[in-house]
Amino acid sequence: MSPDELTALLEAIRDRDVSVAEGLRRLSAPPVRDLGHTRLDTHRELRCGFPEVVYGAGKGTRELVEICKAICEEHAKLLVTRTSEQGAAAVLAAVPEVTHHARSRVLTRGLPGEDEGEGLVAVVSAGTSDLRVAEEAALTARMLGARVETYSDVGVAGLHRLLEAADALRDARALVVVAGMEGALPSVVGGLVARPVIAVPTSVGYGASFNGLAALLAMLNSCASGVSVVNIDNGFGAGFQAALINRVGAPTPAS
């Protein structure tokens, strides 16, 4: 039940369109919907501002479809990350209006248009191979209502590409900065802007990159102030955090 739906219900009760008994029934439904394998937290949107996001990895195809259907019965929006090719195909077949973003392995339903978002989140990435993670971050932030601009292939070994974009970056309320290998980009960006930077290490690299550990450690040790870090390849987490920050800057709903 989204905040809007709850408001509507309470107003209906106030206006006597819905009886108190019926209101009671609807509100006393347990906030968990049990699918056997999964217990959906149906009040999360009310509590956290967004329905439960589905982490697609490690779920069977049948389970994934059941979860997606159940969420779509309760909510207008759906966000699934790390879907297999097979899982994506099954969900597309079973649930209407779902879009598959192949590069980032994300499924969305109810994704706002590129110009519809409010505020601004910038998603900056270092190399071509980091794009899959950057896209996951951008889609997540858009799903949570942010307008997003992306800047890709602006790694630190070619500073002029980044410096050209510096002014534009300063307009964002929050920045997601994605980089693999030595993970230096967040430190450089963090020195150029006065906004929160969410750094995402990626597993791009080889040898002593240790699947992203090098970039992760570098980002945790950033000499720039205002940088925090999420898990390796966790574009979703960074996009989510950036969107929450973006909301902090939103005019209060009631005002």
Counting Cα atoms < 13 Å in the Cβ hemisphere of 19 gives 3
Angle at 111 (CA atoms; ends 190, 164), nearest 5 degrees: 30
**Shortest Å distance, C-beta 69 to its own copies:** 15
- Name residues whose C-beta falls within 8 Å of residue 145's C-beta, 6 or more positions apart in sequence: 112, 117, 118, 243, 246, 247
List 86, 158, 168, 171, residue binding its own copies (CB under 8 A): 158
Gap between the Cα atoms of 110 and 77, Å rounded = 5
Under rule CB under 8 A, residue 134 binds its own copies: no
Under rule CB under 8 A, residue 203 binds its own copies: yes
- List strand residue ranges (DSSP E) for the chain, in order: 32-34, 39-41, 54-55, 78-81, 99-101, 106-109, 118-125, 146-151, 174-179, 197-201, 227-229
Under rule CB under 8 A, residue 18 binds its own copies: no
Gap between the Cα atoms of 133 and 149, Å rounded = 15
Write the binding mask 84 to 123 for its own copies: x where contact by CB under 8 A, - elsewhere.
Answer: ----------------------------------------
Under rule CB under 8 A, residue 167 binds its own copies: no
**Number of residues lying near its own copies (CB under 8 A):** 93
List 95, 111, 126, 169, residue binding its own copies (CB under 8 A): 126
List 20, 21, 223, 254, residue binding its own copies (CB under 8 A): 223
- Of 138 and 229, which has the nearer Cβ to its own copies? 229
Write the binding mask 44 to 63 for its own copies: x where contact by CB under 8 A, - elsewhere.
Answer: x--xxxx--x-x-xxx---x
Interacting span for its own copies (CB under 8 A) from 17-25, 85-93, 105-113, 180-188: 180-188
- Of 12 and 213, which has the nearer Cβ to its own copies? 213
**Shortest Å distance, C-beta 130 to its own copies:** 9
What one-letter code names the amino acid at 120? L
- Of 12 and 160, which has the nearer Cβ to its own copies? 160
Pairing of strands 174-179, 118-125: parallel
Under rule CB under 8 A, residue 39 binds its own copies: yes
The length of the chain is 255
**Shortest Å distance, C-beta 15 to its own copies:** 28
List 98, 105, 173, 178, residue binding its own copies (CB under 8 A): 173
Output the furthest CA–CA distance in the chain (Å, rounded): 68
- Residue 244 in tokens: 């929450």
Starting at the edge strand that comes first in sequence, how are the strands of the sheet with 78-81 ordered? 54-55, 78-81, 106-109, 99-101
